[in-house]
Amino acid sequence: MPRIRRQGVPPRLLDPRLDRVASRSVSADQLGLLADWLSTEVEVPSGKWFKRFPGMTVCGEGELIRTFLLPGQAPAGEEVV
């Protein structure tokens, strides 16, 4: 199982994620929870996955984070604990 890539993400993949964080008004607290979770070097499925946090859901595919959803939006893929 892959681990989420945290370094060396090409700008063409990273920039839209940063825009999504800003457009969805993801709080610093939520980003802190995400950072704490990422620091555990969690393994994720090679296909689509998601991780729920109190104020957002992070969706990814394999080693990459793909988007951030607001509460109430339905994620696709396997839930990561």
* Domain boundaries, given as residue ranges, for the chain: 11-69
pLDDT score, position 66:
92
As a whole number, mean pLDDT of residues 51-72 equals 94
Q: Are the C-beta atoms of residues 51 and 67 closer than 8 Å to each other?
A: no
As a whole number, mean pLDDT of residues 45-70 equals 95
Residues 6-29: tens digit of each pLDDT: 888 888 888 888 888 888 888 889
**E strands along the chain, which residues?**
48-53, 56-61, 64-69, 78-79
* Mean of pLDDT over the chain: 91
pLDDT reading at 36 higher than 90: yes
